[in-house]
C-alpha cells in the first residue's frame, strides 16, 4: 500500500501582499494634495472663527438704530452740568456745594452748535474707551460750530469707592489727554432728565431703569436730539462721526466780529 505524501495546510484567505513601488512623481503629487487639504482646512477654520467673532463681538444685526431711540425728536433740555475744573480748584480743593458764581452748562449754551454729549464714568472702563475714540474721530478742535460734552457721572449709590469722585474723575480725565474740557453731572440731574425723555411712562424717578454707561446723544443746532446710543460697541464711533458730518455740512465762514470765531474750541458761553 502506497503512502501519500503529507501536504502542508494552505490558508486560502491569506493573499500575499504585492509590494507596491511608489515613483517620485507620485510621492510629490500626494504631498501637494496633502498641503492643499491642509490649507483648505485652515481657511475653513479661519472663516468659522471670523463668523463667530462677528456674532459675539461685532453683533452686526444686534445694533439698534440710534435714530429710533425714544428720546429722538425731543428737546435736549436734560443738559445741566458743571465744568470739572471749576469744581476742583487747585488752591481750595473741591468746591462743594457748588458756588452760585459757577453757572451750569445748559441747552442754551449749546444752541447753534452740533453737539455730542457722552455720559461716562471713570468706574466704567468701556466708557473711557468711548470718550477717547469719539474725541479722536470728531472735529473737537477743527470745527467751532461743534461741541463735545463729556459728562462724568457719579457711580451708583451701592458702589463703595474710597476716593473722592471729583478728584478721581479729574485724575482719570488727565490721563486720557483729550483736548476738551470735562463736565460733571454732580447731582445726576442730567441722567434723570434724559431717562425721563427715554421713558416717559415712568413718572417716578425710583421707577426709572438705570442709564447704561456710556450713553451717547447727538444734538442738532436747534437743540433737538437726533440720535442716541446706549452702551458701546465697535463701530459706534464711525456712526457718530458720519451723522455729525451730515449735520455740520461744509464749514461756514464767519465774519471777523462773529461770536463763534471769538469763542475758543471746547468752551461755552455762560448760561443766562
**Residue 166 within any structural domain of the chain:** yes
What is the pLDDT at residue 35? Answer: 74
Same domain, residue pair 99 and 161 = yes
Examine the domain organization and report whether 100 and 30 are in the same domain: no
* Distance, CA of 188 to CA of 198 (rounded, Å): 15
Q: Are 190 and 219 in contact (CB under 8 A)?
A: no
Sign of the alpha-carbon dihedral angle for 100, 104, 106, 108? positive
**CA pair distance 228, 33, nearest whole angstrom:** 54
Q: Are residues 42 and 154 in the same domain?
A: no
Q: For residue 202, name the pLDDT band (cuts at 50, 70, 90).
A: low
Indicate the pLDDT class of residue 269, thresholds 50, 70 and 90: very low
- Considering the domain architecture, whether residues 104 and 43 belong to the same structural domain is answered as no
What confidence category does residue 245 fall into, taking pLDDT thresholds of 50, 70 and 90?
Answer: very high
* DSSP of 129-163: HHHHHHHHHS-TTT-TTEEEEEEE-PPPTT---SS
Does residue 12 carry a pLDDT above 80?
A: no
Regarding whether 86 and 193 lie in a shared domain, the answer is yes
* Strand ranges, E, within the chain: 80-83, 88-89, 93-94, 105-106, 114-120, 146-152, 182-184, 215-219, 225-230
What is the pLDDT at residue 155? 84
Does residue 165 belong to any structural domain of this protein? Answer: yes
Nearest to 144 by CA among 256, 244, 261: 261
Q: Which domain holds residue 49?
A: 25-56
Residues 36 and 137 occupy one common structural domain: no
Decide if pLDDT at 36 tops 70.
yes
Segment 119-157, tens digit of pLDDT = 999 989 999 999 999 999 999 999 999 999 999 998 877
CATH number at residue 142: 3.40.30.10
DSSP track, 49-92: HHHHHIIIII-TTTPPPGGGSTTTTSB-TT-EEEEHHHHEETTT
Residue 100 and residue 136 share a domain:
yes
Do 212 and 101 belong together in one domain?
yes
Is residue 2 very low, low, confident or very high in pLDDT (cuts 50, 70, 90)? low
Structure-block grid coordinates of residue 230:
446706549
Cell numbers placing 171:
485724575
- Same domain, yes or no: 183 and 49: no
Are residues 126 and 229 in contact, defined by beta-carbon separation less than 8 angstroms?
Answer: no
In a domain, 257, yes or no: no
Query: Vertex 59, ends 54 and 61: CA angle to 5°?
Result: 120
Pick the most confident of 30-39, 155-164, 170-179: 170-179
Which whole number is the average pLDDT over 238-262? Answer: 76
How is residue 126 written as a grid cell?
468701556
How many domains does one find in the chain?
2
| Residue owning grid cell 424717578 | 205
Q: Name the residue with cell 458756588.
A: 99
**32: three-class secondary structure by DSSP:** helix
Percent of the chain with pLDDT over 90: 47
Q: 198 and 235: one domain?
A: yes
What CA–CA distance (Å, rounded) separates 123 from 24?
67
Give the three cell numbers for residue 69.
431711540
* pLDDT tens, residue by residue, 37-85: 777 777 877 776 665 544 444 444 456 799 999 999 999 999 999 999 8
Res 65: pLDDT: 92
pLDDT in tens, 95-105: 555 666 788 99
Amino acid at each position: 500500500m502506497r503512502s501519500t505524501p503529507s501536504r502542508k495546510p494552505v490558508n486560502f484567505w491569506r493573499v500575499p501582499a504585492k509590494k507596491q513601488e511608489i515613483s517620485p512623481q507620485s510621492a510629490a503629487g500626494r504631498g501637494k494634495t496633502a498641503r492643499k487639504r491642509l490649507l483648505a482646512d485652515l481657511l475653513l477654520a479661519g472663516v468659522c472663527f471670523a463668523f463667530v467673532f462677528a456674532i459675539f463681538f461685532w453683533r452686526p444685526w444686534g445694533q439698534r438704530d440710534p435714530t429710533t431711540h425714544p428720546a429722538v425728536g425731543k428737546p435736549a433740555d436734560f443738559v445741566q452740568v458743571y465744568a470739572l475744573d471749576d469744581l476742583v480748584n487747585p488752591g481750595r480743593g473741591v468746591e462743594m456745594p457748588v458756588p452760585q458764581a459757577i453757572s451750569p452748562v445748559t441747552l442754551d449754551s449749546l444752541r447753534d452748535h452740533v453737539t455730542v454729549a457722552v455720559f461716562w464714568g471713570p468706574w466704567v472702563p468701556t466708557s473711557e474707551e468711548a470718550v477717547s475714540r469719539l474725541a479722536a474721530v470728531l472735529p473737537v478742535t477743527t470745527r467751532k460750530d461743534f461741541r463735545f460734552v463729556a459728562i462724568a457721572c457719579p457711580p451708583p449709590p451701592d458702589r463703595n469707592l474710597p476716593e473722592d469722585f471729583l478728584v478721581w474723575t479729574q485724575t482719570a480725565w488727565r490721563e486720557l489727554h483729550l483736548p476738551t474740557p470735562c463736565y460733571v453731572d454732580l447731582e445726576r440731574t442730567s441722567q434723570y432728565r434724559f431717562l425721563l425723555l427715554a421713558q416717559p411712562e415712568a413718572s417716578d424717578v425710583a421707577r426709572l431703569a438705570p442709564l447704561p454707561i456710556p450713553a451717547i446723544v447727538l444734538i442738532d443746532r436747534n437743540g433737538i436730539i437726533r440720535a442716541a446710543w446706549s452702551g458701546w460697541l465697535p463701530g459706534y464711533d464711525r456712526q457718530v462721526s458720519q451723522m455729525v458730518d451730515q449735520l455740520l455740512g461744509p464749514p461756514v465762514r464767519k465774519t471777523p466780529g462773529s461770536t463763534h470765531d471769538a469763542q475758543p474750541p471746547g468752551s461755552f458761553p455762560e448760561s443766562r
